[in-house]
Structure formats: C-alpha cells, structure tokens
C-alpha cells in the first residue's frame, strides 16, 4: 500500500527574540525572550479555534489538536495542512465529509470546555462522556526506570534554559531514549504537537512514556490517554481530577519528578523498587 502523502508546509518560525531590560541594580542587559503568536485553525474553510503558540511546529500542533479533539478521525482523510503566518492562520483540507460526519463536528463544537491549560486551552465535545471509551494498562516500572527517563531528558528543555516562559513535553521509551521533544508556551500545545507527530509517523503509544514539565490536569491525562500512552511523568504536580481520571483510565501517574525524587500517584501496584 502506498504511503499517504499530505501536502504540508514547513513554516516553523524562530522562537527566540531579544529584549532590553534593567536588572535589580539598574544595569541594562539584553536577554532572550520566548516568541508567542496566534494561529487560527481552519478546517475545510471553517474557523475552529485560535491557539497561542511559539510557532516552531505549527503543522504538527494543528494535526494533533484536530486529532485530540476528535474533529478528524483518520490521518488518511487529510489532504493538506497549509500555514500562512502573514494571516496567522493554518488551513486544513480533508476529503469530502459525509453529512453524518459534519453533524458530529457541529455537535462537538457546540459544547466547549475552557480548560486550565496555559493561555486557556479548549476542548470540544462531551469530554467526560468520552472517557468511558479510553483504557490503557499501566506497565511495571521501577525507580531506576524513572531515573533513566529523567536522565535522558537532561539535554532537552533548551528554550526553557535560555528564555523560560515555556513548557516541554517528550515522548520517551522506558530505557530513557527520547523519541520526540517539543517546547511551547502552553503544555497543551506541546502534547498536541507530539500527538500530531505520532499520527504522521503512525507510531503507537504502547510501551511509551510521556513526560511533561507542566502540571497533570484532567486535560493532560485525557490527551495522553487518547494517544494510548500508559505512563505519564511530570516535573510538576497533579490535580484531583487529573488523578481521578488516571485511576479511571488506568494510566500510571508519576509527578514531582526532579533529580532523584518523585511521587507515584497512580500505578502503585506496578511500581517496583
């Protein structure tokens, strides 16, 4: 079978900019600041949402967002993804949708949840109802596994180290190898970009580990579950609903992971010292 080819731009932009500041002693300094710009997604000429993004991976971000929102069911349906920064928009074209599919999109977009994502994330459709369809199996993991994952990520987060104001997300193996790492101004953008990359590469989330610098909210847990990734690791903390959803779906949840310290919130029976 021939590989599905999508007509797609490569419109990633420079994320670093400079600013003149005064330090606490009144001395003038030039420092790096993180770029941020709006990107409005159009699906078959219909405006879907405007995301605030760093702009380094706009095509992957768009694909992952539409995938995680359930607005496109198959990557084979996508014909083109065209980013035009002059108008701060991305146009996604798919094969002709049947009337039932269009009605489903209308229904999902009629119900909008503003999430706790940085810059206010948005999820369409009845998010809580869809959880009943999600289920993963937390793998067995050890303290050394978590240490390997954290060690493998040490050379990433370059934007954060240089300018700050970003979150980072990584798709990893249990051995600590990092398959793909994305930084953006919102953690929900970074996870969507990784989802888009996995979709293009036809890569399964089975046996993978997802790492994020951001907090584990309900939105983050749901998106990782949609990618069928069974173990989620965060440098930050966990919300009550994030934990409840992880318990319901079966995702292993490790948080406050930094250096040699971490806390296992879900998957306790699968954790081996």
Instruction: List Cβ neighbours of 67 (8 Å cut-off, separation of 6 or more).
Output: 75, 192, 195, 196, 199, 226
Q: Pick the closest to residue 138 from 237, 258, 223, 232 (CA basis).
A: 232
Say if domain 141-272 classifies as CATH 3.40.140.10. Answer: yes
The sign one gets for the Cα dihedral 136, 140, 146, 152 is negative
- Residue 120 has a pLDDT of 44
- Residue 242 has a pLDDT of 95
- Phi then psi for residue 30, to 5 deg, are -100, 125
- Residue 162 has a pLDDT of 72
**pTM for the complete prediction?**
0.87
7-129 has which fold?
A: Ubiquitin-like (UB roll) (3.10.20)
The string of pLDDT tens digits covering residues 39-87 is: 999 999 999 999 999 999 999 999 999 999 989 989 999 999 999 999 9
- Residue 158 has a pLDDT of 78
Domain ranges in the chain are 7-129, 141-272
Is residue 10 within 8 Å of residue 83, measured between CB atoms?
no
Along the chain (273 residues), what's the average pLDDT of each consecutive run of 10 residues? Answer: 83 92 93 92 95 96 94 94 98 75 58 48 56 86 96 85 80 94 92 96 95 92 94 96 95 96 97 88
């Amino acid at each position: 079978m021939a590989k599905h080819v999508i007509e797609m731009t490569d419109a990633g932009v420079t994320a670093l900019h400079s600013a003149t500041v005064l330090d606490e002693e009144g001395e003038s300094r030039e420092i790096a600041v993180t770029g941020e710009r709006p990107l409005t997604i159009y699906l078959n000429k219909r405006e879907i949402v405007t995301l605030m993004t760093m702009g380094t991976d706009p095509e992957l971000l768009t694909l992952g967002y539409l995938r995680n929102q359930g607005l496109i069911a198959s990557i084979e349906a996508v014909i083109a993804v065209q980013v035009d920064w002059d108008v701060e928009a991305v146009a996604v074209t798919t094969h002709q949708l049947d009337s039932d599919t269009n009605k489903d999109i209308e229904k999902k977009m009629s119900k909008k949840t503003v999430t706790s994502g940085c810059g206010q994330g948005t999820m369409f459709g009845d998010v809580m109802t869809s959880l009943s369809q999600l289920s993963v199996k937390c793998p067995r993991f050890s303290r050394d596994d978590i240490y390997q994952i954290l060690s493998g990520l040490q050379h990433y987060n370059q934007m954060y180290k240089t300018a700050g104001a970003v979150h980072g997300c990584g798709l990893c193996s249990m051995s600590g190898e990092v398959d793909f790492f994305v930084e953006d101004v919102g953690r929900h953008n970074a996870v969507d970009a990784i989802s888009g990359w996995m979709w293009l590469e036809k890569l399964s989330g089975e046996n993978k580990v997802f790492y994020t610098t951001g907090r584990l909210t309900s939105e983050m847990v749901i998106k990782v579950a949609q990618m069928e990734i069974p173990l989620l690791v965060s440098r930050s903390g966990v919300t009550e609903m994030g934990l409840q959803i992880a318990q319901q779906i079966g995702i292993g949840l490790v948080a406050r992971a930094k250096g040699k310290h971490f806390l296992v919130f879900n998957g306790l029976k699968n954790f081996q010292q």
